[in-house]
């Protein structure tokens, strides 16, 4: 027996006959005792009755239903019902299954704008459908976002309980202390909140995969996106509020706020990891992806201050339409929390008010000699922001160094190269130094000393030249009465010290947490360097092509793992600058009278008012010279060597028993320069060694008292 929908009358009669036949079967065969068969027969009769009602529906009724059910008019009005829907979901999460019908009905709103496009067979049908379907899916996300919001409201209570109330159970516990660690009340509260979160999850997962327009909506993916969105919003807000510093606070608020922020982030992390099984998501994966995205986006926005062409939100690879990272109003010159953190670190470690002791990795206040901060600071940042935060801080410092170096080049060209008197002084010094070098070729040590004595006669004149030379450089740091050249060198050196500390912390954490990754990166780096060196020895051997991204990709991994040396980095492209080594040499020796050597601390300033920190000065000059051709470094070191030898020859001829402070400063500079640049101590080329017996203790460990070996080594 077949039923034809076109002949509704005949189909209706046949259906009635089927219903009667089923009733007779149940009576004649005495099936009342078999409940399962009775149930099947009753269900079948029910479906047949529904078929009768359906087949009697006329086309006019269908048209009327289509007109009444058309929700095109509700495209704008539906938003006023959003709060009502969300309140219903908050009270009963299972309401989502009923709202599914509403969302499906909203899809009828797409028919009107697509009507004429469809009739015209336009190729734009797909793109327009995609747009309106996307808008509809966005509204569905907006309505269902109440579920992640409610989940995170409960999650915040769990965070508070796990952070402040529940004591972490040790790996070994005495049974008499079991009651103390039980904490049944707080643990029951956590279980209750976790159950509430799982109920919300169950509610949204009841809505099966739904086709909204031409976009398929997966409730599990919808839940994950909602959780990501809420996580991003709350973590970003916590970082913004938690990392605001008062520059007038003494002592600095940096360490206390970092500790507080670390506890907050740890609470988020532990609680998120705790509920992942109850909401059926990969909690750790989501946490790492979203926190890294927040930090990288904020670093990108902060670095926009140093770029001519800004990276807009729609261009950013870290910003998202569905899971947006919120932007907050700046509270100071920094745009984001990462900028405030960086500038607070720079403020408390300013070389004008602190002294950095490299052996202890500690900054001390120049006036009070109290410890300001130490390397533990970067461990706290690691605990708070993780590897992404340290890496982002390192990237921001790179941009700041580039800006300072660019400012120096601009100042150098405007204030020195355009001053005729300064150029005459520099030309005289350069010519005299060149003559001295040529006059030393092929002569014995005694003859070299005799020749170098001529240079010492002009030393007093050179000091007079310095006053004239640096008058044009004064200004720009009038608050501290510090010449811009010194200010720039110390600022660059300070940021290089911070970069070295960050690199050490990244490398330590990588070796501790992922030793196999660290070993693999180191071996891969050595292998690539060996291949590149082999290529330069033999150009026929392969070398990575320009379109090969291996070097760029491995560099990002190496920097994230702390396997690199910030002092070897080239920050800017430079052109040839005349007299550049001479100016650096004159600047350096002009600072020696303000410094003194201390056996325990190294080189320190004589008076706190001088505001000179030795290591930032050395690393600043090192970084500055690194941006130019290596020939400039050779000339600079040669001038220092000539200065040492001429001064020592004068002391020997005048039988001065003590080593001059200027020579000690120059020797210490050479010692530190060689140590941080890792130049070889053995003579490669162009080395001059001089042994001068003095009745003074050696300043370097391992040397005999009464003899100081002065030697200059540099490599091409």
- pLDDT tens for 334-346 read 999 999 999 999 9
Enumerate residues 6+ apart whose C-beta is below 8 A from 662.
589, 592, 593, 643, 647
Asked whether the predicted pLDDT for residue 710 surpasses 60, the reply is: no
Q: How many CB atoms lie within 10 A of CB 688?
A: 18
Handedness of CA 485, 487, 493, 496 (dihedral sign): negative
Q: What is the pLDDT of residue 114?
A: 81
Tokens in use for 613? Answer: 């920190």
Top mean-pLDDT range of 72-81, 202-211, 627-636: 627-636
CA–CA gap between residue 466 and residue 63 (Å, rounded): 97
Ramachandran bin of 213, using left for φ above 0, alpha for ψ from -120 to 50, beta for the remaining angles: left
Q: pLDDT digits over 42-54, tens only?
A: 888 888 888 888 8
Q: How far apart are CA 109 and CA 70, in angstroms?
A: 7
For the chain, what is the radius of gyration of the CA atoms? 38
For tokens 């039923």, the residue is 3
Mean pLDDT score of the chain? 81
CB atoms within 10 A of CB 681: 9
Ramachandran region, residue 664 (left: φ > 0; alpha: ψ -120 to 50; beta: rest)? alpha
Q: Provide the pLDDT for residue 432.
A: 59
- How many angstroms separate the Cα of 320 from the Cα of each of 20, 315, 328, 381? 62, 10, 16, 26
pTM above 0.75, yes or no: yes
Spatial contact of 493 and 623, defined as CB atoms under 8 Å apart? yes
pLDDT score of 607: 82
429 or 120, greater pLDDT: 120
Q: Which residues pair with 354 in a beta bridge?
A: 365
Domain boundaries, the chain: 58-170+177-214, 218-349, 411-687
Average pLDDT rounded to a whole number, residues 294-314: 92
Residue 656 banded pLDDT, cuts 50, 70, 90: low
What are the structure tokens assigned to 121, written together?
Answer: 């067979």
For the chain, counts of helices (H) and of strands (E): 26, 9
First to last CA, the chain: 100
pLDDT at 251: 85
Structure tokens at 410: 């601009």
Tokens of 675: 């140590």
- Residue among 356, 589, 586 at smallest CA distance from 493: 356
Please report the pLDDT score of residue 399 as a whole number. 95
Whole-number Å distance between alpha carbons of 615 and 190: 52
pLDDT band at 524 (very low <50, low <70, confident <90, very high): very high
482 DSSP 8-state letter? -
What is the C-alpha separation between 326 and 232, in angstroms, rounded? 8
Rounded to the nearest angstrom, the gap between the alpha carbon of residue 543 and the centroid of all alpha carbons in its chain is 31
Which residue from 422, 414, 576 is spatially nearest to 484, judged by alpha carbons?
A: 414
List alpha helices for 29-72, DSSP H.
35-55, 59-69
Spatial distance between the Cα atoms of 233 and 217, rounded to a whole number of angstroms: 23
Model confidence band, residue 708 (pLDDT cutoffs 50, 70, 90): very low
What phi and psi values does residue 442 have, to the nearest 5 degrees?
Answer: 75, 15
Question: Beta strand pairing status for 354-357 and 362-365?
Answer: antiparallel
Measured in degrees and rounded to the nearest 5, phi and psi for residue 596 equal -145, 155
Q: Which pLDDT score is estimated for 243?
A: 93
650 vs 100: CA distance, rounded Å: 95
Bigger pLDDT: 361 vs 213: 361
What's the rounded Cα separation, in Å, for the pair 623 and 644?
23
Torsion on CA atoms 306, 309, 314, 315, rounded to nearest 10: -90
pLDDT (average), residues 232-242: 94
Average pLDDT over residues 235-253: 90
Q: Is 372 in a helix, a strand, or coil?
A: strand
Alpha carbon distance 134, 111 (integer Å): 15
Angle (deg, nearest 10), helices 184-205 and 146-160:
170
Structure tokens at 647: 């001064």
656 phi/psi in degrees, rounded to 5:
-80, 125
Query: Before 143, cis peptide (omega within 30)?
Result: no
Residues 6+ apart with CB under 8 A from 460: none
CA distance 489 to 622: 9
Distances (CA, A) of 297 to 228, 231, 248, 540, 559: 15, 15, 29, 43, 18
Q: What does the CA dihedral 478, 482, 485, 490 come to, rounded to 10 degrees?
A: -120
- pLDDT confidence of residue 712: 35
Is the pLDDT score of 690 beyond 60?
no
**365 has which bridge partners?**
354
**SS3 letters for 110-129?**
HHHHHHHHHHCCCCCHHHHH
The confidence score (pLDDT) of residue 374 equals: 92
Contact 350, 498 (CB under 8 A): no
Instruction: Return the bridge partners of 356, or none.
Output: 363
Per-residue pLDDT tens over the stretch 433-469: 556 555 555 555 455 545 544 444 454 455 444 444 4
Choose among 232, 280, 638, 622: nearest CA to 430. Answer: 638
Ramachandran area for residue 611 (φ above 0: left; ψ -120 to 50: alpha; else beta)? left
């Amino acid at each position: 027996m077949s039923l034809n929908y076109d002949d509704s009358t005949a189909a209706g009669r046949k259906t009635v006959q089927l219903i009667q036949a089923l009733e007779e079967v149940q009576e004649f065969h005495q099936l009342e005792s078999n409940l399962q068969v009775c149930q099947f027969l009753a269900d079948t009769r029910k479906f047949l009755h529904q078929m009768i009602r359906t087949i009697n529906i006329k086309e006019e009724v269908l048209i009327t239903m289509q007109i009444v059910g058309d929700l095109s008019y509700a495209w704008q009005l539906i938003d006023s019902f959003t709060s009502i829907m969300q309140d219903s979901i908050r009270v009963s999460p299972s309401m989502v299954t009923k709202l599914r019908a509403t969302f499906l009905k909203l899809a009828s709103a797409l028919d009107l704008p697509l009507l004429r496009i469809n009739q015209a067979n336009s190729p734009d049908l797909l793109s327009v459908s995609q747009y309106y379907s996307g808008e509809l899916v966005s509204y569905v996300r907006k309505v269902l976002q109440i579920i992640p919001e409610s989940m995170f409201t409960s999650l915040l209570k769990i965070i508070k309980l796990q952070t402040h109330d529940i004591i972490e159970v040790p790996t070994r516990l005495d049974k008499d202390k079991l009651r103390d660690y039980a904490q049944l009340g707080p643990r029951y509260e956590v279980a209750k909140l976790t159950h509430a979160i799982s109920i919300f999850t169950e509610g949204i997962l009841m809505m099966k995969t739904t086709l909204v327009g031409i976009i398929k909506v997966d409730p599990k993916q919808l839940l994950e996106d909602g959780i990501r969105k809420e996580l991003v919003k709350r973590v970003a807000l916590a970082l913004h509020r938690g990392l605001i510093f008062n520059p007038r606070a003494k002592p600095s608020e940096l360490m206390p706020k970092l500790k507080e922020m670390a506890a907050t982030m740890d609470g988020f992390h532990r609680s998120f990891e705790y509920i992942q099984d109850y909401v059926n998501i990969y909690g750790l994966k989501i946490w790492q992806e979203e926190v890294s995205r927040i930090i990288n986006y904020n670093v990108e926005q902060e670095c926009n201050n140093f770029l001519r062409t800004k990276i807009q939100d729609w261009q950013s690879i870290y910003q998202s339409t569905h899971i947006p990272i919120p932007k907050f109003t700046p509270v100071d010159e920094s745009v984001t929390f990462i900028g405030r953190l960086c500038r607070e670190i720079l403020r408390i470690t300013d070389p004008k008010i602190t002294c950095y002791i490299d052996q202890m990795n500690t900054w001390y206040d120049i006036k009070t000699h109290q410890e300001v901060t130490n390397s533990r600071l970067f461990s706290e940042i690691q605990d708070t922001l993780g590897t992404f935060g340290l890496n982002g801080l390192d990237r921001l410092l790179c941009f700041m160094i580039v800006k300072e170096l660019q400012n120096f080049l601009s100042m150098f060209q405007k204030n020195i190269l355009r001053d005729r008197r300064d150029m005459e002084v520099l030309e005289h010094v350069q010519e005299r130094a060149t003559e001295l070098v040529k006059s030393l070729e092929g002569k014995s040590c005694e003859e070299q000393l005799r020749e170098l004595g001529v240079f010492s006669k002009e030393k007093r004149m050179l000091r007079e030249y310095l006053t004239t030379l640096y008058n044009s450089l004064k200004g720009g740091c009038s608050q501290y009465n510090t010449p811009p050249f010194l200010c720039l060198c110390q600022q660059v050196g300070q940021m290089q010290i911070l970069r070295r500390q960050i690199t050490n912390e990244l490398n330590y954490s990588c070796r501790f947490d992922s030793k196999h990754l660290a070993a693999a990166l180191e071996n891969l780096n050595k292998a690539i360097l060996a291949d590149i060196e082999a290529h330069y020895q033999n150009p026929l051997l392969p070398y990575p092509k320009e379109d090969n991204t291996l070097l760029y990709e491995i560099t990002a991994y190496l920097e994230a793992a702390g396997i690199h040396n910030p002092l070897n980095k080239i920050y800017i492209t430079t052109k040839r600058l005349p007299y550049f080594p001479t100016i650096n040499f004159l600047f350096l020796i002009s600072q020696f009278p303000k410094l003194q050597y201390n056996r325990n601390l190294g080189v320190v300033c004589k008076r706190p008012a001088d505001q000179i920190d030795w290591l930032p000065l050395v690393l600043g000059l090192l970084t500055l010279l690194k941006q130019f051709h290596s020939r400039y470094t050779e000339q600079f070191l040669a001038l220092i060597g000539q200065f040492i030898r001429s001064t020592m020859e004068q002391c020997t001829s005048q039988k001065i028993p003590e080593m001059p402070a200027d020579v000690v400063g120059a020797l210490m500079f050479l010692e530190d320069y060689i140590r941080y640049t890792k130049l070889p101590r053995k003579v490669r080329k162009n080395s001059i060694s001089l042994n001068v017996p003095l009745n003074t203790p050696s300043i370097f460990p391992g040397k005999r008292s009464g003899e100081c070996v002065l030697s200059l080594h540099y490599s091409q």
